[in-house]
Amino acid sequence: MKALNEAYRVLHDDTTRSKYDLQRQRPSAEATMIHVASAVREVGTHGQLLSALLCLVLGLMLLLLVRFNGLWFLWPLSILALGVILFGVLMAHSAMTNAREGLRDSHPARRFRFAQEIVFWLAVGGGGYGVYLILTAL
């Protein structure tokens, strides 16, 4: 999408389009390369964590809304809530993976990937069990 927006910006204006056409007529050795960074890298780890947190909070709010309002005919909303929570968990996992890959190669955290995965999924399982206890106890 970023590349399409950049192309539209260049081709939409006549002056930038003529500059682009002049560059295209030069040999390829002189042409400049356009580098487009992936959107995940621009958002950063903090942005990914914030998105994951918002998904988890929204999913829990929907789940608790269905449970405590006694509106059992809204059971499809609880399925949506579980999907949003699962999406938040996957986003948090992606943030953890990108944070680990952003470290230098000699950093100790890069060597303990398996342990990080175990701790992450234990935290997810423990959180899910805690939500289950809250939903069944009240």
Query: Does residue 34 contact residue 6 with C-beta atoms inside 8 Å?
Result: yes
Query: Does residue 100 contact residue 109 with C-beta atoms inside 8 Å?
Result: yes
Q: Are residues 74 and 19 in the same domain?
A: no
Total of domains in the chain: 2
Q: Are residues 4 and 69 in the same domain?
A: no
Provide the pLDDT confidence category of residue 26 given band limits of 50, 70 and 90: low
Higher-confidence residue of 104 and 25: namely 104
Query: Is the pLDDT at 50 greater than 80, yes or no?
Result: yes
Closest to 113 measured CA to CA, from 25, 121, 4, 70:
121
Q: Are residues 18 and 52 in the same domain?
A: no
The predicted pLDDT at position 27 comes to 57
Q: Are residues 62 and 112 in the same domain?
A: yes
Which residue range(s) make up the domain with 2?
1-36
Q: What pLDDT, in 10s, does the model give residues 53-76?
A: 999 999 999 888 888 777 777 788
Q: What pLDDT, in 10s, does the model give residues 73-125?
A: 778 888 898 999 999 999 999 888 888 888 888 888 788 888 889 999 999 99
Q: Are residues 20 and 77 in the same domain?
A: no
Q: Are residues 12 and 49 in the same domain?
A: no
CA distances to 45, 80, 129, 131, 133 from 136, in Å: 34, 19, 10, 9, 5
Higher-confidence residue of 42 and 31: namely 42
Residues of the chain with pLDDT > 90, as a percent, come to 26
**Whether the predicted model's global pTM rises above the 0.85 cut:** no
Query: Is the pLDDT at 37 greater than 90, yes or no?
Result: no
Q: State the Cα–Cα distance between residues 40 and 65, nearest whole angstrom.
A: 32
Q: Are residues 26 and 59 in the same domain?
A: no
Q: Are residues 80 and 124 in the same domain?
A: yes
The predicted pLDDT at position 36 comes to 65
Q: Are residues 19 and 76 in the same domain?
A: no
Query: Is the pLDDT at 30 greater than 60, yes or no?
Result: no
